[in-house]
Amino acid sequence: MNKTDVLIIGAGPVGIFCVHQLGLIGLNCEVVDNLDKIGGQCIELYPDKPIYDIPAIPECTGEELTNNLIKQIKPFKTKFHLNERVEKVKKNKSNWYVKTNKGTEFNVSNIIIAGGVGSFEPRKFTLKECEKYESKSIFYSVKDKTIFKNKTISIFGGGDSALDWAIELSNSSNVILVHRRDEFRGAQSSINKIKELKKSEKIKVFTKYQLNSVKGEKNIKSISIKHDDGKIEEIQTDYVLGFFGLIMQLGPIANWGLNLEKKKNSSG
């Protein structure tokens, strides 16, 4: 049985910063997270992507933010239980009993749930044949942009992530941007930049197209995309990136006996 002052569920930026703030007032913390690494959504979905909404930091990547937070809590020697998912939370007299899917048990006075609305999973291509290429030629996040250098990349999506990566990767890759609508949903500055890159022929843009098929053995060699009017375009490509937003999975949190409103904890 693990005993500590506070158990934090979630090792994303909020959870890590909680460790720091609680450590400053002398409370010991342990942290549980379903991922196999510290950093939550930042490190899992966009470790290499610039982010701009961190207080007092004009620009940093998800990985840089995570590394700085980890460095900040180093003096507190916090114990992390990674690749474990909290399955059970139960009141035990004045304390809380917590158990993970791996059988790790905790007896704690306080719990902080820093898991947002659960786990985040990317929306994926609906084509069944895409599954065999995942993590080889098809990706839903970028963890190492160097693998795309001097390659042809087909990026699907019309939001900020798709636009940001199209702009970023166009510096060293042949980029093709595909979106199922005519209008993009990203920041206007990014949309303007995409138009500039298209005009200068640094990227190709296909709108009102969707993925129709993928071809290749172990890795993708080519794809076809289909226009709303039925027209088919064949594209030679090395990699495919899909940015269609995230699906929020509440998971076991729904069974912890919390008061939930619109799938969010409202009881404190």
Give pLDDT tens digits along the chain (268 positions).
Answer: 889 999 999 999 999 999 999 999 999 999 999 888 899 888 877 788 888 889 999 999 999 999 999 999 999 999 999 988 898 999 888 899 999 989 999 999 999 999 876 666 778 999 999 999 998 999 998 888 999 999 999 999 999 899 999 999 999 999 999 999 999 998 899 999 999 999 999 999 999 999 999 999 999 999 999 999 999 999 999 999 999 987 767 767 777 777 776 655 544 3
The answer to whether the CB of 158 falls within 8 A of the CB of 180 is yes
Largest pairwise CA distance in the chain: 68
Q: What is the pLDDT of residue 45?
A: 74
In CATH, which superfamily holds the domain spanning 124-244?
FAD/NAD(P)-binding domain (3.50.50.60)
How far is it, in rounded angstroms, from Cα 103 to Cα 121?
Answer: 24
> What is the bridge-based pairing of β-strands 232-236 and 79-82?
unpaired
How far is it, in rounded angstroms, from Cα 4 to Cα 263?
Answer: 28
Q: Where are the domains of the chain?
A: 2-120+247-265, 124-244
pTM of the model: 0.64
* Domain 2-120+247-265 falls under CATH 3.40.50.10440: no
